[in-house]
Amino acid sequence: MTEPVLSVRGLTTSFRADAFSPWSTVVRDLSFDIGAGETLAIVGESGSGKSVTSLSVMRLLAERTSRIEGSAKLEGSELLALPEAKMRKVRGSAISMIFQEPMTSLNPMMTIGSQVAEVMRCHLGLSAAEAKAEAIRLFEKVRIPNAKDRYDTHPHKLSGGQRQRVMIAMALAARPKLLIADEPTTALDVTIQGQILDLIKDLQVETGMAVLFITHDMGVVAEVSDRTLVMLRGDKVEEGSTADIFARGKHPYTRALLSAVPRLGSMAGRLNPATFGLIDMTTGEATPERALPAAADAPPVLEVKNLCTRFEVRGGLFARVTGAVHAVEDVSFDLRPGETLSLVGESGCGKSTTGRSILRLTHPRAGDIRVDGAAMHALDGKALREARRAIQMVFQDPFASLNPRVSVGTAIAEPFIEQGLGTQAEAREKAGQLLERVGLSAKVMNRLPHEFSGGQRQRICIARALMLDPKIIVADESVSALDVSIKAQVCNLLMDLQESLGLSYLFISHDMAVVERVSHRVAVMYMGEIVEIGPRPAIFERPQHAYTQKLIAAVPVPDPARRVLRRKQDIEEIKSPFRPKDFQPPKREWREVGAGHFVQT
């Protein structure tokens, strides 16, 4: 057998807060090999130590507060014993890395060309002219359109997907033997994600480098990796060929992780949403999925007609209005009691602004919003506050949506007391009941948010939203920031609450697989407009609009056996809905293609 490119043995990494604190171990006794041309994926949820593993191999952790033990050999030479000066030569040349956040990993003050050329001049000793020619060749290789002209562009002029391409070009500049990709597509939209994964795969075939792929997304794993290593809280749980892990995962955690992954297409042929079937992580005991009832055939609780929200853009000498971002343009829909309508689309499509406009957290420019009969768009002050009782919101980031200084009991009770619905004691009692209802204990009322995990915090936010007995909850990417297994549990909680309380959800999400599971109806948004709306089975099984079809096709399938279906897509970027001042939005027409299924023509 040939020697592996990277061979890690007994890697143990510990951290401490400062020189006076005890060590706590984050990665325990981890061993793995990666051969040339091979892709190993390390999968795990937050806190599993997967990123720390790659940072340990690269020796990028602060020396004062971290300790790395064990061995990591790159083609037989030990990395952990290398002096810092030699290690610096290894980084960027023999091993290079792509990070999650393409917005912050490039220097905003340097042109993208000079950043890539610099790497080649440092590591390959090329002259300035050679480096420039080579950089342009690389930009072409990572499929940046007009590579020659883009050489002198600054990063802020590129989209997220393009920046990630530049990062890849930079990582490949010195022809590394090993590429470490740490969640390289997590911050990207799903159509862009597919393109980037394709690119990494192609370049690997071409250069024969080894790839260490770190991700939490089982769909991505199935798409790219030859072998998979599952981590749980610093320990290796299981390792094997990707096909094996997906088909015959032995450890309950692996199976729990896989069962919790929403699979696009798993709802085919079914009319109504269904909860996720879950497998317990320690015992392996399974809870089967359960179908939800159809929405009530009653008058809608929420009616939105011709909603428009624009953000003015100012420029020039006297900050005059030069144009506007048409975030939401002529959006109409309704929502019936007990129904879930999902708004899907990619970043910047206006789905969040739609939700915020309905609650009047953003001031819409025009349109009718009727919440339970009340004309939300025309209210102000006290009347608006009271109207908001019927419609509440759950936000995306469970860490930012609770005030870190306010106990969870006080946070949940606040809307009830502030709306004058009862006494302090009544509010505490109700808050306690709701905490139990969302799967926590009423005893945790006096604790502060930092004592809870992300999933628990999202449950607390749901309890807070329920405090006013709303009829509608706007869930703005409410499960997107959660780990896979927690995501499935929180989705199940939302569906349980819908069934028992008759809630209606406006479910805003970019995650097509989750949307397929939870929704009765789906509206697809693109550049501020709804391009297609209809019953969930119709949208997913018979998508009519080209954008909907593209969106569905781009979702990675968590099944390694189906990887042969490569998506050879054109390089496309998401357009911005910025319009000049005198822009007249075109009058849109919708065509009914099935019962309640409308497509923009």
What whole-number distance in Å separates Cα of residue 590 and Cα of residue 598?
6
C-beta of 284 vs 293, nearer to another protein: 284
Q: Which of 29, 118, 414, 573 binds another protein (CB under 8 A)?
A: 414
Q: Which two tokens stand for residue 228?
A: 């998979």
Give the contacts of 454 (CB within 8 A, at least 6 positions apart).
Answer: 46, 398, 399, 481, 482, 483, 486
418 binds another protein (CB under 8 A): yes
- Main-chain dihedrals φ then ψ at residue 161, nearest 5 degrees: -65, -40
62: contact with another protein by CB under 8 A = yes
Q: In this complex, which beta carbon is closest to another protein, that of residue 96 or of residue 492?
A: 492
CB nearer another protein, residue 366 or residue 406: 406
Q: Which of residues 309-368 bind another protein (CB under 8 A)?
A: 359, 361
Binding-site member from 205, 375, 406, 561 for another protein (CB under 8 A): 406
Q: Which is nearer to another protein, 48 or 185 (by Cβ)? A: 48
Orientation angle between helical segments 484-501 and 454-466, nearest 10 degrees: 20
Long-range contacts of 29-34 (CB under 8 A, 24+ apart): 29/70, 29/235, 29/236, 30/70, 30/231, 30/235, 30/236, 31/236, 32/8, 32/229, 32/236, 32/239, 33/4, 33/6, 33/7, 33/8, 34/4, 34/5, 34/6, 34/178, 34/210, 34/211, 34/212
* DSSP letter, residue 127: -
Read off the DSSP letter of residue 291: B
Which of 22, 76, 83, 288 is the binder for another protein (CB under 8 A)?
Answer: 22
Lookup result for tokens 């729990």: 256
Q: Give whichever of 24 and 576 is closer to another protein, judged by the CB atom.
A: 24
Specify the stretch interacting with another protein by CB under 8 A; choose among 11-19, 101-109, 291-299, 573-581: 11-19
In the region spanning residues 260 to 289, those forming contacts with another protein, defined by CB under 8 A, are 278, 280-282, 285, 287
Residue 407 interacts with another protein (CB under 8 A)?
no
Cα–Cα separations (whole angstroms), residue 473 to 210, 293, 392, 493, 503: 46, 18, 5, 13, 7
Query: According to the binding rule CB under 8 A, does residue 104 interact with another protein?
Result: no
Give yes or no for residue 478 binding another protein (CB under 8 A): no
Q: Buried b / exposed e across 408-438, counting CB within 10 Å, b at 16+?
A: bbbbbbbbbbeeeeeeeeebbebbbebbebb
List 174, 486, 515, 531, residue binding another protein (CB under 8 A): 486
Using the rule CB under 8 A, is 21 a contact of another protein? yes
Q: Which residues, 6+ apart, have CB-to-CB distance to 384 below 8 Å?
A: 360, 376
Give the dihedral sign, CA 480/482/485/491: negative
Q: In what side-by-side order are the strands of the sheet with 235-241?
A: 95-98, 178-182, 210-215, 39-43, 227-232, 235-241
Supply the minimum distance, in Å, between the C-beta of residue 300 and another protein.
Answer: 21
587 contributes a contact to another protein by CB under 8 A: no
Task: Give the H or E element holding residue 202.
Answer: helix 190-207
Q: Which of 57, 402, 506, 527 binds another protein (CB under 8 A)?
A: 402
Q: Check: CB of residue 67 under 8 Å from CB of residue 36.
A: no
The yes or no reply on residue 460 touching another protein (CB under 8 A) is no
Give the range of 170-178, 243-251, 291-299, 389-397 binding another protein by CB under 8 A.
389-397
Q: Which is nearer to another protein, 233 or 305 (CB)?
A: 233
Is residue 424 within the footprint of another protein (CB under 8 A)?
Answer: no
Asked if 24 interacts with another protein (CB under 8 A), we say yes
**Binding segment (CB under 8 A) for another protein, from list 121-129, 319-327, 459-467, 518-526:** 459-467
Question: Does 453 contact another protein by CB under 8 A?
Answer: yes
User: Quick one: 595 exposed, middle or buried, by C-beta within 10 A (0-12, 13-18, 19+)?
Assistant: exposed
- Under the binding rule (CB under 8 A), the answer on residue 439 touching another protein is yes
Look up residue 317 and give its amino acid.
L
Nearer to another protein, 40 or 390 (CB): 390
CA distances, 51 to each of 47, 318, 497 (Å): 9, 48, 35
Q: How many CB atoms lie within 10 A of CB 153?
A: 16
Report the nearest approach of another protein to the CB of residue 590 (Å): 31
CB of 405 to another protein, least distance (A): 5
454 binds another protein (CB under 8 A): yes
Contacts of 294 (CB under 8 A, 6+ apart): 271, 272, 520
Question: Does the protein bind another protein through residue 403 (CB under 8 A)?
Answer: yes
Cα–Cα distance for residue pair 536/270, rounded to 1 Å: 9
Q: Which of 340, 353, 354, 392: binder of another protein (CB under 8 A)?
A: 392
Minimum distance of another protein from residue 394's CB (angstroms): 9
236 contributes a contact to another protein by CB under 8 A: no
| Strands of the 521-526 sheet, one edge to the other | 391-394, 472-476, 504-509, 340-344, 521-526, 529-535, 597-600, 590-594
Which of residues 485, 504, 509, 519 is near another protein by CB under 8 A? 485
Q: For another protein, which residue of 396, 504, 519, 544 counts as binding (CB under 8 A)?
A: 396
Binding segment for another protein (CB under 8 A), chosen from 401-409, 509-517, 555-563, 575-583, is: 401-409
Question: Which is closer to another protein, CB of 219 or CB of 415?
Answer: 415
- Restricted to residues 63-92, the positions that interact with another protein (CB under 8 A) are 63-65
**Site residues (vs another protein, CB under 8 A):** 16-18, 20-26, 45-47, 49, 62-65, 233-234, 256, 278, 280-282, 285, 287, 359, 361, 385-386, 388-389, 392-393, 395-397, 400-403, 405-406, 411, 414-415, 418-419, 439, 453-456, 461, 464-465, 467-468, 483, 485-486, 489
